[in-house]
């Protein structure tokens, strides 16, 4: 469904800058070659987990982890992101196609704790208001604080302006 396009060094930097000062579990949904998970681990996120369906990309991710001395310290799982329970995740990154993002908004709002922050690279979530964004063009990333997104969604449902 979602084509693999590797994250650039700048995209990884932008994602990590939006997670600066945060801690705890970090997951990358559709983790591709694993570079965001590796960087998250290097910056102190524990555990750092990538979910990816493509077995070739999982092999590449584990190879990259081994080359950087992080094998067994980061985790890549072959699992459908729609079947992953995210209730214990405080930090989530996604680099997914725009067609997937509306459905993902619903899943994330239903499962993530209020303290969670979601960072989307390349494409913003279609109905959420970002807390902050960095970069421009294909390197742009957007951060969404779930508690704030829920408050705005609640206001919309009650017919109040934002």
For residue 92, tell me if it sits in a domain. yes
For residue 2, tell me if it sits in a domain. no
For residue 90, tell me if it sits in a domain. yes
Quote the domain boundaries for residue 111.
9-157
The total number of structural domains that make up the chain: 1
Find the CATH number of the domain harbouring 114: 3.40.50.150
For residue 153, tell me if it sits in a domain. yes
Q: What is the pLDDT of residues 84-140, one digit of tens each?
A: 999 999 999 999 989 999 999 999 999 999 999 999 999 999 999 999 999 999 899
How far is C-alpha 160 from the geometric centre of its chain's CA atoms? 29
pLDDT grade, residue 161 (50/70/90)?
A: low
Q: What is the pLDDT of residues 20-34, one digit of tens each?
A: 999 999 999 999 999
For residue 4, tell me if it sits in a domain. no
pLDDT of residue 5 exceeding 80: no
E strand segments, the chain: 26-29, 48-51, 75-77, 91-94, 117-121, 132-134, 141-145
């Amino acid at each position: 469904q979602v084509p693999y396009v590797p994250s650039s060094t700048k995209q990884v930097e932008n994602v990590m800058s939006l997670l600066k000062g945060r801690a705890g579990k970090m997951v990358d949904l559709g983790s591709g070659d694993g570079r965001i998970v590796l960087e998250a681990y290097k910056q102190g996120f524990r555990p750092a987990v990538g979910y990816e369906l493509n077995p070739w990309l999982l092999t590449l991710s584990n190879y990259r982890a081994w080359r950087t001395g992080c094998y067994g310290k980061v985790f890549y799982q072959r699992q459908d992101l729609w079947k992953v329970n995210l209730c214990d995740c405080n930090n989530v990154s996604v680099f997914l196609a725009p067609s997937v993002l509306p459905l993902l908004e619903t899943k994330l709002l239903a499962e993530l704790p209020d303290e969670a922050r979601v960072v989307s690279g390349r494409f913003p979530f279609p109905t959420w208001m970002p807390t902050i964004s960095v970069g421009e063009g294909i390197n742009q990333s957007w951060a969404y604080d779930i508690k704030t997104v829920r408050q705005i969604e609640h206001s919309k449902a009650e017919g109040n302006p934002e």
